Amino acid sequence: MLAANEIQSSLSGAWRLMMGKADGLRLLDLSADGFWNSFFAMIVALPALLVSWTSFAADLYPGADLYGERIALIPRIAVIDFCAWVLPLVGLAIAAKPIGIRPRFVHYVVASNWASAIVAWMMMPPAMLRLIFPAAGDAASLVSVALLLLSLVFTWRLTNATLNRGPGPATAVFAGMLMASLVVIYALQTALGVTPPLEAPV
């Protein structure tokens, strides 16, 4: 369990990196313990993720009589999200030496983990809006798209500042991690049946 000041420092460091400021690394614990502790960001992100999972399940099963189906879907959505968080990092660990970023791999993982927690909280408001005010679904979707695009810009900035190899390599790593996450999400959604029902009741 990390102390509150350690969590605050890590989130502050990740946020500065998301703003493109490389000095954010000074606020991160880049030791071996700091590497593993950075996965505590999943716990920090959990409340926001739970709202998003619940909203997504409600979108897939919008009928008032489908409460049980929505509840049963949430654990599968959680598995997908956490696999999409971790598996691309495993792939990057394998590729780090061949693509020349091994000296910065720990930096990237620590920064990326804490940044993912920030992004999860960024994406929570529109998900909550859809849950509380279903009629505002279209507006919430627009906000979600805008925040998603903004988070991609922030993530690229973090990647560039963390790797310190220039925009080219940063863009390659950013694109590779994004594609890996999308592949994991698509594959697991198909495998776990997290898809819209053929005839979702209204």
CA distances, 53 to each of 78, 115, 144, 193 (Å): 7, 19, 14, 15
From CA 188, how far away is CA 42, in angstroms rounded?
19
Q: What pLDDT was estimated at residue 127? A: 93
From CA 80, how far away is CA 171, in angstroms rounded?
25
Name the residue type at position 150. L
CB 184 within 8 A of CB 83: yes
Report pTM.
0.92
How many Cβ atoms from other residues are within 10 Å of residue 182's Cβ? Answer: 12
pLDDT tens string, the chain, 202 residues long: the values are 789 999 999 999 999 999 999 999 999 999 999 999 999 999 999 999 999 999 999 888 876 567 788 888 999 999 999 999 999 999 999 999 999 999 999 999 999 999 999 999 999 999 999 888 888 888 999 999 999 999 999 999 999 999 999 999 999 999 999 999 999 999 999 999 887 654 443 3
Assigned token pair, 72:
């049963």
